[in-house]
Structure 1
């Protein structure tokens, strides 16, 4: 297998974290995806933070206790816990397990979650709050004494008694696609995670990009044969009219900029020769676009993203281990294409 980290690419999967009555073993479900992720040689998994999911930090602790090199990418947002509480939790996990977690800073989440907590901040105000929040967290994690007087937080001589060891400091991201998110990412010096438009549009030369890097959340269904990949795709994500209506309702009540952007992408549900597929999003199966096809077809799309500077990929929830292995084949071929005619050295 190619050493993805040595190639400058970071790959996460997405963990199943929603609380559902038809899933009796939530821990087993979480660890199943974590195990597949480790075996495929990816860094870790994104663990969501919303009102329908198990607490993301508790899920991360369970994963750390039952895996080896697996790194949870924990979504956190300011309404859930204070900057000091988050920093102390990250430090505690590092000292308890000798392992790191990564952090995905999100501005707020779904409108229903904001409403029930009485949050009335506007979209851009939530990113202003997130910038203050993450600034404090980053300082606390490195052992700094924090004196901070902002619009949303006021800290006086705050300090962790046990800062995170330097080699276990988290890699952090900021999530979103709006100008406010881009500004937050550049102010904080963090890579920006978003949901991608068509490859050529997402990395077009005139698109303003975060100078600290970009990553995307995307699903991949790749197989040796394109027809088999599409068979699986249609089986998993049917064009359900009820799902389409649910997505319309979500868009009408949305507080995020990325949902309307994806909804406005002008491609049909079925476009011959086009691996970029929006049916899973349009019919409310998941929240990201998919790349579907044989390894080379998917690799071509991935190579376009890579060529445009995308270096972090968060893959949608896998249904089976083969999803991750076939995605890896496509990713490695994309890296070979970007590197040039001569494939990069591989490690066993």
Structure 2
């Protein structure tokens, strides 16, 4: 295994949803995946947030308490916790366990989830709110006195009793692919996480990139043999007409820019010689595109993303440890082949 972090490349996986799992089985599944991630040398895994999942901070604590190096990438949505509560959670984990969390700042969510909590802000206004939110969290994490008066938040003389040590400060990202998300990330000095279009389109010089770095959420099914990789892919993600109808309903509800963007990518379900695959997204199996093929085929696509500025990869939920190991092999080959 080569040291990807030394080359500026960061790998995360994604934690499985708690939906359909009882308390005991979900904890077991969470810790099993965290072990796979540690063994494969990834930095950690995304713990995402919506109204149907368990609390992300409790899941992060459980993972930290039962691993040695796993870093939760916690999805933080302003409706879920105040800026002070988020900063205090980061500080508490740092001081209880001597461990860090990373943060994926999310401006919104599913329309139904926002409606439940009475959030009626427009898409761009949610990023304005997120910018204020992150500004306050950062002030608190760095030990300063937070005095802030904005449109959405006002705090006066707020301070954490125990500031977070510098070496445990989170690596943070802003999630999104719209101009508003790009502006928010750059104004905060944070990199951006998005769902990627075709590698060659993303790498185009005409596509504006976040000057503080970019990352993508993507699935990878790589194996020694391309036919075996595609056999696994088709078995896991069949072209299910009912799934296609569910995705149409989701797209019609609106609320995000990335879902219509992915849905409009002009590529057939099966494109000969093309590792970029949208069937898992189009048929509502998951929310990201996939790269499928042998190690070299996947590596070629990853190299294009790397040359386009991507340095962080958040891989979709693995079904088995081999998913992480084979993806890593492809990414290591891509790093070796990227432009310097």
Same-fold call, TM > 0.5?
Answer: yes
Q: Secondary structure at the match of 2:254?
A: coil
Q: CA deviation at 1:7?
A: 1.1
| Equivalent residue number for residue 42 of structure 2 | 42
1:17 and 1:30 in contact (8 A); partners too: no
Aligned residue runs from structure 1 range 249-260, under 5 A? 249-260=249-260
Alignment of 1:1-348 (within 5 A): 1-21=1-21, 25-338=25-338
CA distance in 2, matches of 1:329, 1:339: 18
Deviations 1:158-178 (A, max 9, x none): 110101011100000000000
Unmatched 5+ stretches in structure 1: 341-348
Structure 1 pair 60–135 and aligned structure 2 pair: CA distance change class (3 A): same
Q: Secondary structure of 2:68's partner?
A: coil
Alpha-carbon shift at residue 279 of structure 1 (Å):
0.1
Secondary structure at 1:25 match in 2: helix
1:237-278 per-position Cα deviation (integer Å, ceiling 9, x unaligned)? 000000000000000002010000000000000000000000
Say which SS state the counterpart of residue 338 (structure 2) adopts: helix
SS at match of 1:251: helix
Q: Which runs of 5+ in 2 are unaligned?
A: none
SS in structure 2 opposite 1:192? strand
1:314 counterpart SS class: strand
- CA gap 1:234/1:23 in 2 versus in 1, 3 angstroms: farther
Q: What is the CA–CA distance in structure 2 between the aligned matches of 1:286 and 1:61, rounded to whole Å?
A: 25
- Quote how far apart the aligned CAs of 1:19 are: 2.4
- 1:23: Cα distance to partner? 8.0
| Structure 1 contact 295–326 (Cα < 8 Å) conserved | yes
How much has 1:52 moved relative to structure 2? 1.2
SS in structure 2 opposite 1:121?
coil
Give the whole-Å Cα distance in 2 for the aligned partners of 1:275 and 1:21. 32
Q: Could you tell me how far apart the structure 2 residues matched to 1:31 and 1:256 are?
A: 31
Q: Is the Cα–Cα contact under 8 Å of residues 307 and 339 in structure 2 kept in the other structure? A: no
Shift of 1:18: 2.7
Deviation at 1:21, TM superposition (A): 4.6
CA shift for structure 1 position 75: 0.1
Tell me if the contact between 1:73 and 1:103 (Cα under 8 Å) persists in the aligned partners.
yes
For 1:316 and 1:59, locate their aligned partners in 2 and report how far apart those are by CA, in whole Å: 18
Structure 2: how far apart are the matches of 1:55 and 1:17?
Answer: 11
| C-alpha separation in 2, matches of 1:77 and 1:187 | 18
Aligned to 1:219, the other structure's residue is in SS state strand
Work out whether residues 222 and 323 of structure 1, in 8 Å CA contact, stay in contact via their aligned partners in 2: yes
Q: Distance in 1 between matches of 2:243 and 2:319?
A: 20
TM-score (norm 2): 0.99
CA RMSD of aligned residues (A): 1.0
Instruction: Name the CA distance, whole Å, in 2 between partners of 1:33 and 1:64.
Output: 12
Whole-angstrom distance in 2 between the partners of 1:332 and 1:76 = 30
Residues 276-314 of structure 1 deviation map (CA, whole Å, 9 limit, x = unaligned): 000000000000000000000000000000011100000
Instruction: Output the CA distance in 1 between the equivalents of 2:6 and 2:210.
Output: 22
